[in-house]
């Protein structure tokens, strides 16, 4: 179950990143350069994943 | 083993390979006919149950060559002479009006007898002359087999022209056009640049779509944008081999 939740969080992070990147690339020309663009991908995916880890409902013991 | 006997063996191998290459080129249904414009010779190749058969018929000489199961039988017929050459990996048998010689391994004496038998055959000499004049062009699937047959006959006759003929066969093999699979190799930067182009196009399309549509249209625009954006991102991940 924990592995499934982790997988789901990763998938959601990737999807969110995929949806945000075109907006970023179209509005911030500097992000079109590969180093900055990759950094943006890492930041968006990392923040989304971390946020999901924090807000994901935990089972009450 | 003397150099000329080695040369004969190489000639046999090349001739066998050429027949196999010819068979591959011909495919199915594998009956091909051609008339050589220079000599008027009728050339016919056919795939039968007994193997690949090549026939060359011209006034004064007929050559039949049958290849199957690693064994090549070449029969040359002239009005007053007939010569048969059977060659396989282990032995070569030469038979004609003057006798029959079986050559196995490095039997130099036997090989000389076989050589004398072929060299004395008017049919073999006529076949060599005919094959030397036939010109079907390099692109013909039969030209390589015909050249290899001539090289084999000259090699067995221990004719100095045999080396030249074998060289022509090798050159023909080397320069023959081949079909090769190729792919354009992309780098991670190429992947990124392609992704950026696609992502910007997806957003621009979404922007235009939203400006010119109603609420329900906005939903459709968003769905299309989602699909295009996720598709582009997963393509980029696959392009840079992220996730396997």
3-state secondary structure of B190: helix
Per residue in B133-143, pLDDT (tens digit) is 888 776 777 88
Work out the number of other CB atoms within 10 angstroms of the CB of residue B224. 14
- By the CB < 8 Å criterion, does B13 face chain A? no
Question: Which residues lie closer than 8 Å to B63 by C-beta, 6 or more apart?
Answer: B54, B55, B56, B57, B74, B75, B76, B77, B127, B130, B131, B149
B196/A contact by beta carbon, under 8 A? yes
- Residue A43: pLDDT band (50, 70, 90) is very high
Tell me what pLDDT residue A22 has.
95
B213 pLDDT higher than 80? no
Q: Is the pLDDT of residue B174 over 80?
A: no
Domain map of chain A by residue range? 13-53
Q: Which residues of A touch B (CB under 8 A)?
A: 14-15, 17-19, 21-23, 25-26, 32, 34, 37-38
Q: Considering the domain boundaries, does residue B195 fall inside one?
A: yes
**Contacts with A25 from chain B: Cβ below 8 Å:** 196, 199-200, 203
**Which are the contacts of B236, defined by CB distance < 8 A and separation ≥ 6?**
B191, B192, B194, B195, B242
Looking at the structure, tell me whether residues B136 and B164 fall in a common domain: yes
B36 within a domain of the structure (yes/no): yes
- B107 shares a domain with B44: yes
Asked if the model's pLDDT at residue B24 lies above 50, the reply is: no
pLDDT score recorded for residue B23? 44
DSSP, collapsed to helix, strand or coil, labels residue B18 as helix
Edge to edge, what strands does the sheet with B91-96 contain? B31-35, B42-48, B51-58, B61-68, B71-78, B81-87, B91-96, B99-104
Q: Which of A23-27, B8-12, B85-89 has the highest mean pLDDT?
A: A23-27
Write out pLDDT tens, residues B54-95: 899 998 899 999 888 888 899 999 998 999 999 888 888 999
Give the mean model confidence (pLDDT) for residues A13-26.
Answer: 95
* Res B28 pLDDT > 50: no
Q: What is the pTM of this model?
A: 0.49
More confident site: B173 or B150: B150
Residue B25: the pLDDT is: 43
**Residue contact A21–B199, C-beta within 8 A:** yes
Boundary-marking domain end, from B175, B198, B217: B175
- Residues of A within 8 A of B242 (CB-CB) are none
- Contact assignment for A25 to B189 by CB distance below 8 Å: no
- Nearest C-alpha of chain B: how many angstroms from A32? 6
Mean pLDDT of chain B: 81
Chain B residues inside the 8 Å CB shell of A34: 188-189, 192-193
Same domain, B138 and B28: yes
pLDDT at B223: 92
**pLDDT range class, residue B38, cuts 50, 70, 90:** confident
Q: Are B52 and B64 in contact (CB under 8 A)?
A: no
ipTM of the complex as predicted: 0.90
Of the two residues B87 and B226, the one the predictor is more confident about is B226
Residues of A in contact with B196 (CB under 8 A): 25, 32, 37
> Which residue does chain A place closest to B202, by CA atoms?
A22
Rounded to whole angstroms, the Cα distance separating B180 from B177 reads: 10
pLDDT one-digit tens code per residue, B42-58:
888 888 777 888 899 99
Q: Are residues B153 and B198 in the same domain?
A: no
- List the domain range (segments joined by +) for residue B143: 3-175
User: Is B72 within the bounds of a domain?
Assistant: yes
| Segment of A19-33, B8-22, B172-186, B216-230 carrying the highest mean pLDDT | A19-33
Element (H, E) at B87: strand B81-87
pLDDT attached to residue B27: 44
> Which residues in chain A touch residue B200, judged by CB atoms under 8 angstroms apart?
22, 25-26, 32
Domain count, chain B: 2
User: Do B104 and B204 belong to one domain?
Assistant: no
């Amino acid at each position: 179950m924990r592995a499934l939740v982790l997988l789901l969080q990763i998938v959601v992070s990737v999807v969110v990143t995929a949806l945000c990147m075109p907006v970023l690339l179209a509005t911030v020309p500097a992000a079109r350069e590969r180093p900055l663009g990759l950094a943006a991908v890492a930041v968006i995916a990392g923040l989304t994943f971390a946020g999901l880890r924090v807000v994901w409902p935990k089972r009450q013991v | 083993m003397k150099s000329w006997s080695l040369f004969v063996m190489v000639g046999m191998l090349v001739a066998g390979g050429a027949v196999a290459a010819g068979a591959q080129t011909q495919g199915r249904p594998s009956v091909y006919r051609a008339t050589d414009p220079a000599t008027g010779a009728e050339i016919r190749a056919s795939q039968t149950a007994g193997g690949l058969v090549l026939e060359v018929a011209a006034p004064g000489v007929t050559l039949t060559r049958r290849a199957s199961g690693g064994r090549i039988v070449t029969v040359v017929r002239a009005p007053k002479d007939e010569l048969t050459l059977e060659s396989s990996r282990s032995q070569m048998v030469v038979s004609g009006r003057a006798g029959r010689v079986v050559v196995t391994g490095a039997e130099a004496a036997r090989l000389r007898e076989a050589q004398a038998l072929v060299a004395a055959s008017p049919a073999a000499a006529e076949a060599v002359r005919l094959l030397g004049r036939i010109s079907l062009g390099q692109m013909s699937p039969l030209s390589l087999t015909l050249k290899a047959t001539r090289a084999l006959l000259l090699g067995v006759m221990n004719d100095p022209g045999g080396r030249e003929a074998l060289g022509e066969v090798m050159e023909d093999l080397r320069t023959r056009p081949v079909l090769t699979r190729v792919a354009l190799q992309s780098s991670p930067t190429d992947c990124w640049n392609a992704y950026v182009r696609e992502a910007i196009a997806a957003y621009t399309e979404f922007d235009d779509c939203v400006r010119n549509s109603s609420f329900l249209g906005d939903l459709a625009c968003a769905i299309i944008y989602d699909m295009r954006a996720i598709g582009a991102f997963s393509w980029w991940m696959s392009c840079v081999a992220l996730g396997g």
